[in-house]
Each structure stands twice: as C-alpha cells, then as structure tokens.
C-alpha cells in the first residue's frame, strides 16, 4: 500500500494508470481529517506552476515599463538551464556587491511534511555553503511565549511537548480552564505529520469522566462538541485582567497555596504588591477586571469558588493568546495563576500550553528522537525577530530591541523564500507590499501561483509530496510513514533538493550539498541515523520492510506525562533553568531591561487597539486558524471551499452587531480600518461575543486594482496590525485589531486569486 503524510494526517493513495488518484483515510487513524482531499483538485489546477518563470520587469531590467511593480507584472517562462544560470549569477552579484548579510532567508513557513524534503532546511543548507544569510528567530505561532517563558520557567521548546498528557487530565483533572478554548478544528494538524488523531477522543473521554471544562474565549465554538460547556465570552485581549483578578481574589480569600509559592517560586511579594495596587494605586479585584473583560463580577467570583472547590485545576492557554499586543503577558499571568493554585507538577493539574493548537500536544507518546537534514553553519550573525520583516525592509541600519539587547536591521537586497507564504502569514499586508518592492531580487520556490509567487521576480516550481519520496516522523506522534511518490512531477517542477543541487553545481559545491547522496539514499540515511538514537528495545524494523509496509508505530513507551513533575518532586536536584532555579513571578532579568512595555512581573496593559478604544472602528477582528485547510495551503482545493460562501471568506458577526448594521446572512460586506479593507461574506451567529467578528485566515490575497479594496477574497491580514508584542519578544500581534463593516453596495467582484498571472511562453535560448 502506498501512503502519503501531511501536517493534517496520513492517507492511503489509490491511483489509476493516468494522473487520477484519490486519497483515503489511513486505517490507523481514529478521526481522519478531510483537509487532505483538497489536493485531489489542487494538484493539477490552473494555479499550478509548471515551469520556471521570471518577472518580465526583472528579466528585462525594467525596460518594458519602469513603473510596473512586483505583483502586477507578467512572467516569462525560461528553461531550467537558463534559470540556474540566471539565479546563480544574480546571487553571486548580490554577494559580491553587498555581502551575504544582504540576503534574507528567514523564509518562515510550514512547507510540507516529510523530513527530507523540508524546504527551509534545503534553502539554509545551500545558502550556508555559499557564505550564509540573514535569518529569523522565533515563530508566528507563539513568539511571545518563546521569549518570555524561558525567563519564567527556564525553557519553552522542550516544554512544548512535555505538556501533561490527556490521559492524566482525563483521570485527575476536576477543573480545566481553557483560555482560548480547545477548538477541535486545530487538532487536525501536527507539524511534521499525524498518524492517528486523538484530540477529540480524549476531550470527549475527559468530559465524560466529569472534567469541568470552561471555555474562556470570545468564540463559543472554541470549545464544543463534548457536552455542556460553560462559556465565558470575555472581550478579546483582556485575559490578563481576568487572570490577575483571579490571582488577587484567590489570595484575598486565603485560597493561595503558600507552600507552593515558597518552595517553587521567587518574586511573589513584588507581584502581590502590584495585585494590591501598591505600585499603581489600582487593586486588581474582580470589580476592576469585570469592567475590562466585559463580564459580570459575579461570574469572576463564581470562578474563584470553582477553583477553590476543585481538587485539581488545569490552566490551559492557547497559543493565540501570544498573537496580540503584549502577548507575553497572558502566558506569564497564567503561570502566576497556576502557581497560586499550586497544582503544577501534579497529575492533571498546573499549566498547559497549546492544547488548543495541535494533535500532538497532550499525546502521551514519548518523543521519538529523530535526525533532520543537516543545515550546516550560517556565517552571518544578523537576524530579525521573524515578524519584523516589514520593519527590516523599511529601515535598513535602524536599531531595534529584542530580549534585553539592541540589534540593527540589515540592508536586504535579495529575498529567498521556500516553504512559506508571507502574503498569508504577515500582518498589515499593504504596508508589507510597499516594503517588498525595495530589494533588487525576490526568489521563491512554490507549487502554486499564490500571492508570494506573483510578488516574486523568480519563481521556481516545486513538486508536492505526491511527486517525490520522503519519510514522515513527528514529535509525540508514534507513527512513522514512508511517503511514496505516486506521480511524476507535474510540468517541469523539481523538488527543493533538486533545485538547490542544480544551483550548488553552479557554485562548484554540488557534492558538498548532496554529499553524493540521492533522494532515496538521504531518506534511508535519516531512517538509519534516527534508528541509532532509539533505545535498544525500541529499534525500528529493517528499512526495506518499513518501506514495503509503508508505516511503523513505535510502542507505547510512556503512559502519563506530567509537566514539571521532576522539578516539583525535587526543586533542588532538578532546578528550572531560570536564574533562580525557580518559577519567576518577578524576573530581575526582565526588570533590568527597563522596558516600559514588559516589566518585571505580569502586568495588564490597556494601551492597545481593543474593544471600546475607537469610536470609528467598533468591532474587534479575530482571525483564527481555518477549519478546512492549513493556513493558505490548499485554499485552491475542493475542501477549503466548505468554509466559504460563494468562494469568499466568511466573517462571523454577532446577531446584534448585524442588526445594528442591517447586515443579512451571506451578504457581501466591506471590512475596513485605516490599514486596509477586504470583502467577506456574512455569517450571523450567537456563537461570537457581541462586538467581536472573526475571519479565519488563509484566503489567498486578491487585491482589486481598480478600486481601493485591498483583498476581494477575504484575507484578514490586510486589516491586522504589524507592531511587535513588546520590546522583549517583538512577536506578531494579529489578534489586536479593530475594524468596521458595512454592506458592499457594488456588484461583488470576481475572485481572481487562483488565476495565474499573464505568462509568456518560454523562448528556446536566452543569453
């Protein structure tokens, strides 16, 4: 049997003699996702890039029309031979004129599953061989947590997959307070692949066993489908006020676990003096918080009682809580709250990061150690916090703060992207598009004509996993999948590996790049090297047997993971990696940075764009993860359409807000603020808090040149704000965004997002 693996699951592939194929659920998958079937139509759609293509203005050095910008130009197809020659020449030119630092290859993005064909690894391996590149730090997923949590708990990455298992929650948790909910739509995904989807099953089992889940979120659907769930629909971006009030009221009621605070934390006194208002004159009471979060004080006090009466409480924070202004604070405040309750390190209790986010979080399998493609060493030291790309392009040489130090932006002349889509993931796209015109060359590897490809100078067509062999192996997922090639590459597409091999040859580094190994030899190398890391009683089967069967499941090695158990058992022998070795409720280190936007303790910051802050823009826009796709991937396939109305992204609007604006179900509306505007189709519901609207991300950017609409398809990132979380992490803040909506009075324009640009067919030879 042949299988393929994606971030959204594993599928059996049945193919006829031609190019027709169908994907079927993996027989081991308890709860398969439909997302994968999107590729059945997307693979060979008209949006597929079939040949290397160069922007006409770039190739002809802007002679045909000086003012045609990236994103508006035609493309000329060229042969691979010419493409390798032109690309390598241009990279050499840029390096010799400006140095390697002027190449930006942060290239953030999820690419495809598969350990070998990981686009970014290949890009960096290639660029590192030729002198390096400016890189990026942290992610769009949880940048603020990546930077703050190490100060408070000593680590973040290692902790991600150490989250207390669902099994432990099912058997021990009494109260599960879910900030940002646990939207089941998200559990379809795990970076690197999923063997069997377990999230829904465990959530149901836990609810059946009597775990009391409370959904703290503006969206009811963030936790549903597992019985009667209490919904606490607070205003977006106000969770910190609620957490602080819970800390204050618990302490006031004497429910605080003093023993825990004494043994395992530092800085409580300073934090308490902030809660009590000694530092700012404001007592962080339920009364205070209720006005900020927009929920009755009684509900907060009731929650205090529930915590008091619960044997074991889990404080769960979704990653989305980092993607907001001051996104460091919700994680820090949640850790403080869990410390005051004192259930950290106990079965089913304490704190959890990202139960909302991926199938692997809470899975009880031990992490399978595995190797990746070696990327080599980057000789360039310049970096940016990943979401500061527009700032970087706009401000070469200007300095910025990050995690206690000052750095400066490089002057970027060449952008090289493979495996991500900044026209999906970045905020304030209108601003980014302007800044994007500045570099001399933009190169991307893509398989479809999305906005990234259309805004590139050089587009090199890549294969999808169905057109190459690979191996999938993801952390905390017990399955390893042999990903079979089922189709010959569509058009003239090549894998990222083949493309960089071709370029490396032009630089005289081909053998260093490939190490004289073919695709299949690399896959076997990854398998064998990973096998060498397994404990002796859990070795993988022979490679040929694995390949023949198509999958392997590692034995159940661990029944329960309990986050921070070792530290709690013996904080002296197993200290945290923080300066004090304990949980830092006050951080001397952060305090010493003297940042006004991130001080020494968790703090409520009200100086941001949130509900009630603007007379002009009265609605808070959330842009959560889409249900029927991963980000922008497969937006052009048949499954993503399930989440749209007449092909357009949906905006969910509360009944009362819709009535106030005379909006009707399915009506096309203009959503706007000072940064931009998009069209979307209305879905009226009482699933969303009044004053809040939501457009899931992922609609391919589709600007309407003839009008002022920044995107007729419904990409929310033309509206979102591009400001760092704070000087500490400089993370993205998509969820801090106010808008207004009104009926779109004109005829709804056609969506052109999936149309390729105008392409001029390849000439035989080119000098």
Ligand X SMILES: Nc1nc2c(c(=O)[nH]1)N[C@H]1C(S)=C(S)[C@@H](COP(=O)(O)OP(=O)(O)OC[C@H]3O[C@@H](n4cnc5c(=O)[nH]c(N)nc54)[C@H](O)[C@@H]3O)O[C@H]1N2
Reading the block at residue 361, the tokens are 């979080």
Per DSSP, the residues of 139-208 read -TTTHHHHHHHHHHHS-SHHHHTTSPPHHHHHHH-SEEEEET---GGGGG--TT--SS--HHHHHHHHHH
Q: Going residue by residue from 393 to 432, which x/- string records binding to ligand X, judged by CB under 6 A?
A: -------------------------xxxx--xx-------
Residue whose pair of structure tokens reads 């009265």 in the numeric block: 618
Instruction: Rule CB under 6 A: choose which of 58, 179, 288, 416 binds ligand X.
Output: 179
Q: What are phi and psi of 500, to 5 degrees?
A: -70, -30
Nearer to Mo ion, 190 or 530 (CB): 190
Residue 438 DSSP label: S
Closest of 698, 702, 715 to residue 749, by C-alpha? 702
Q: What is the Cα Rg of the chain in Å?
A: 26
**CA separation, residue 726 to residues 138, 502, 605, 722 (Å):** 14, 42, 11, 12
661-700: contacts with ligand X (CB under 6 A): 697
Q: How far is the CB of 765 from ligand X (least distance, A)?
A: 27
Establish whether 202 is a catalytic residue: no
Instruction: Rule CB under 6 A: choose which of 32, 106, 181, 267 binds ligand X.
Output: 181
Verify binding: residue 218, ligand X, rule CB under 6 A. Answer: yes
User: Are 195 and 32 within 8 A, CB to CB?
Assistant: no
Closest of 674, 676, 622, 675 to residue 650, by C-alpha? 622
Report the interhelical angle of 143-153 vs 328-341 (nearest 10°).
Answer: 40
Q: Taking CB within 5 to 8 Å according to partner kind, which of Mo ion, ligand X, none is near residue 578?
A: none
User: Are 194 and 473 within 8 A, CB to CB?
Assistant: no
Q: How far is the CB of 452 from Mo ion (least distance, A)?
A: 17
Verify binding: residue 632, ligand X, rule CB under 6 A. Answer: yes
Size of interface with ligand X, in residues (CB under 6 A): 63
Instruction: Rule CB under 6 A: choose which of 295, 386, 462, 663 binds ligand X.
Output: 462
Q: Rounded to whole angstroms, how far apart are CA atoms 625 and 743?
A: 25
Q: Rounded to whole angstroms, how far apart are CA atoms 738 and 611?
A: 7
Stretch of residues binding ligand X (CB under 6 A), selected from 72-80, 216-224, 404-412, 651-659: 216-224
Residue 600 DSSP label: S
Instruction: Rule CB under 6 A: choose which of 110, 264, 551, 586 binds ligand X.
Output: 110
Nearer to Mo ion, 141 or 360 (CB): 141
Q: Rounded to whole angstroms, how far apart are CA atoms 531 and 545?
A: 14
Reading the block at residue 204, the tokens are 């149901």
Instruction: Rule CB under 6 A: choose which of 38, 236, 347, 714 binds ligand X.
Output: 236
Size of interface with Mo ion, in residues (CB under 5 A): 1
Verify binding: residue 403, Mo ion, rule CB under 5 A. Answer: no
H-assigned helices in 99-142:
119-129
Q: Taking CB within 5 to 8 Å according to partner kind, which of ligand X, Mo ion, none is near residue 361?
A: none
Establish whether 140 is a catalytic residue: no
Residue from 3, 58, 108, 447 carrying the catalytic annotation: 108
300-359: contacts with ligand X (CB under 6 A): 318-321, 323-324, 356-358
Q: Going residue by residue from 58 to 97, which x/- string records binding to ligand X, judged by CB under 6 A?
A: ----------------------------------------
Q: How far is the CB of 536 from Mo ion (least distance, A)?
A: 36
Residue 470: Cβ-neighbour burial (10 angstroms; 0-12, 13-18, 19+): buried
187-206: contacts with ligand X (CB under 6 A): 188-189
Reading the block at residue 446, the tokens are 């893509």
Residue from 11, 58, 104, 110 carrying the catalytic annotation: 110
Verify binding: residue 222, ligand X, rule CB under 6 A. Answer: yes
Residue whose pair of structure tokens reads 């009535």 in the numeric block: 659
Verify binding: residue 363, Mo ion, rule CB under 5 A. Answer: no
Encode burial over 638-649: b for 16+ CB neighbours within 10 A, e otherwise.
bbbbebbbebbb
Phi/psi class of residue 579: alpha, beta or left (left: φ > 0; alpha: ψ in -120 to 50)? alpha
Q: How far is the CB of 52 from ligand X (least distance, A)?
A: 13
Q: Taking CB within 5 to 8 Å according to partner kind, which of Mo ion, ligand X, none is near residue 716?
A: ligand X
Q: How far is the CB of 142 from Mo ion (least distance, A)?
A: 7
Please, which contacts does 222-225 make with residues 24 or more away whose CB atoms are closer than 8 Å? Answer: 222/178, 222/180, 222/181, 222/182, 222/183, 222/318, 222/356, 223/178, 223/181, 223/182, 223/183, 224/184, 225/184, 225/200
Q: Going residue by residue from 118 to 147, which x/- string records binding to ligand X, judged by CB under 6 A?
A: -x--------------------xx------
Verify binding: residue 633, ligand X, rule CB under 6 A. Answer: yes
Q: Rounded to whole angstroms, how far apart are CA atoms 722 and 431?
A: 9
Q: How many CA atoms lie within 13 A of 463 on its CB side?
A: 22
Nearer to ligand X, 599 or 699 (CB): 699
Q: How far is CA 582 from the centre of its chain?
A: 29
Q: How far is the CB of 404 from Mo ion (least distance, A)?
A: 25
Count each helix (H run) and each strand (E run) in the chain, helices first: 25, 31
Q: Taking CB within 5 to 8 Å according to partner kind, which of ligand X, Mo ion, none is near residue 324?
A: ligand X
H-assigned helices in 276-327:
286-293, 297-308
Q: Taking CB within 5 to 8 Å according to partner kind, which of ligand X, Mo ion, none is near residue 233?
A: none
Verify binding: residue 180, ligand X, rule CB under 6 A. Answer: yes
716-735: contacts with ligand X (CB under 6 A): 716-717, 720, 734-735
Nearer to Mo ion, 142 or 513 (CB): 142
User: Are 492 and 80 within 8 A, CB to CB?
Assistant: yes
126-155: contacts with Mo ion (CB under 5 A): 141
Q: Taking CB within 5 to 8 Å according to partner kind, which of ligand X, Mo ion, none is near residue 514?
A: none
Q: Which residues bind ligand X (CB under 6 A)?
A: 108-112, 117, 119, 140-141, 179-181, 183, 185-186, 188-189, 216-219, 222, 236-237, 239, 318-321, 323-324, 356-358, 418-421, 424-425, 445-448, 450, 462, 496, 622-627, 630-633, 697, 716-717, 720, 734-735
Residues that bind Mo ion (CB under 5 A): 141
Q: Which residues are catalytic?
A: 108, 110
């Amino acid at each position: 049997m042949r299988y393929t693996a994606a971030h959204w699951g594993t599928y059996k592939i049945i193919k006829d003699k031609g190019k027709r194929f169908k994907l079927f659920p993996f027989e081991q998958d308890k709860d398969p996702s439909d997302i994968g079937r999107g590729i059945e139509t997307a693979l060979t759609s008209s949006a597929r890039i079939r040949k290397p293509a160069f922007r006409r203005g770039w190739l002809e050095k802007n002679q045909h029309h000086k003012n045609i910008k990236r994103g508006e130009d035609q493309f000329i197809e060229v042969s691979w031979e010419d493409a390798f020659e032109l690309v390598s020449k241009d990279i050499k030119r840029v390096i010799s004129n400006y140095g390697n630092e002027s190449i930006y290859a942060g290239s953030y993005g999820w690419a495809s599953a598969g350990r070998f064909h990981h686009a970014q690894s290949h890009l960096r391996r290639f660029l590192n061989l030729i002198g390096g590149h400016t890189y990026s730090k942290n992610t769009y997923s949880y940048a603020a947590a990546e930077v703050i949590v190490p100060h408070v708990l000593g680590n973040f990455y290692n902790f991600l997959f150490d989250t207390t298992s669902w099994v432990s929650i099912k058997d021990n948790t009494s109260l599960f307070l879910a900030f940002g909910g646990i939207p089941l739509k998200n559990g379809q995904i795990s970076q690197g692949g999923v063997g069997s989807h377990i999230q829904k099953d465990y959530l149901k089992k836990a609810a059946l066993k009597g775990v009391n889940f409370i959904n703290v979120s503006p969206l009811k659907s963030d936790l549903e489908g597992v019985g009667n769930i209490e919904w606490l629909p607070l205003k977006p971006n106000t969770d910190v006020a609620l957490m602080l009030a819970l800390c204050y009221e618990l302490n006031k009621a004497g429910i605080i676990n003093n023993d825990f605070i004494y043994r395992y934390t530092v800085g409580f006194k300073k934090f308490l003096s902030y809660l009590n208002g000694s530092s700012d004159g404001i007592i962080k009471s339920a009364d205070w918080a209720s006005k900020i979060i927009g929920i009755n004080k009684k509900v907060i006090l009731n929650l205090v009682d529930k915590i008091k009466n619960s044997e074991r409480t889990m404080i769960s924070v979704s990653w989305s809580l980092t993607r907001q202004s001051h996104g460091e604070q919700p994680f820090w405040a949640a850790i403080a709250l869990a410390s005051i309750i004192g259930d950290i390190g106990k079965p089913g209790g304490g704190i959890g990061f990202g139960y909302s986010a991926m199938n692997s979080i809470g899975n009880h399998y031990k992490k399978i150690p595995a190797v990746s493609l070696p990327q080599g060493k980057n000789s360039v030291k310049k970096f940016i916090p990943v979401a500061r790309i527009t700032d970087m392009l706009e401000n070469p040489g200007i300095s910025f703060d990050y995690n206690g130090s000052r750095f400066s932006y490089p002057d970027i002349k060449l952008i090289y992207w493979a495996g991500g889509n900044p026209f999906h993931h970045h905020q304030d796209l209108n601003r980014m598009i302007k800044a994007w015109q500045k570099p001399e060359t933009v190169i991307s590897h893509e398989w479809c004509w999305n906005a990234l490809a259309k805004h590139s100078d050089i587009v090199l067509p890549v294969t999808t996993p169905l057109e190459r062999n690979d191996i999938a192996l993801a952390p905390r997922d017990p399955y390893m999948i042999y990903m079979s090639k089922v189709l010959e590459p569509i058009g003239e597409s090549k894998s990222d590996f083949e493309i960089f091999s071709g370029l490396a040859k032009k630089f005289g580094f081909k053998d260093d790049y490939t190490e004289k190994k073919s695709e299949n030899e690399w896959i076997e190398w990854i398998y064998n090297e990973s096998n060498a890391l397994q404990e002796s009683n859990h070795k993988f089967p022979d490679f040929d047997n694995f390949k023949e069967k198509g999958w392997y499941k590692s034995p159940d090695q661990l029944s329960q993971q309990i986050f921070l158990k070792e530290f709690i058992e013996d904080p002296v022998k197993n200290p945290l990696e923080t300066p004090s070795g304990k949980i830092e409720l006050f951080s001397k280190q952060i305090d010493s940075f003297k940042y006004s936007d991130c001080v020494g303790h968790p703090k409520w910051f009200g100086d941001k764009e949130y509900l009630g802050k603007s007379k002009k823009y009265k609605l808070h826009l959330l842009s959560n993860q889409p249900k029927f796709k991963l980000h922008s991937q497969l937006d052009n396939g048949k499954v993503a359409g399930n989440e749209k109305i007449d092909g357009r992204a949906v905006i969910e609007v509360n009944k009362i807000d819709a009535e106030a604006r005379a909006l009707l179900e399915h009506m096309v509306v203009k959503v706007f603020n000072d940064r931009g505007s998009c069209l979307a189709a209305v879905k009226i519901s009482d699933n969303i808090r009044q004053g809040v609207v939501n457009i899931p991300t992922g609609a391919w950017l589709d600007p309407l040149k003839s009008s002022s609409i920044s995107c007729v398809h419904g990409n929310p990132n033309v509206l979102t704000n591009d400001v760092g979380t704070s000087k500490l992490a400089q993370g993205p803040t998509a969820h801090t965004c106010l808008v207004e909506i009104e009926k779109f009075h004109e005829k709804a324009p056609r969506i052109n997002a999936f149309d390729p640009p105008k392409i001029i067919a390849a000439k035989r030879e080119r000098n």
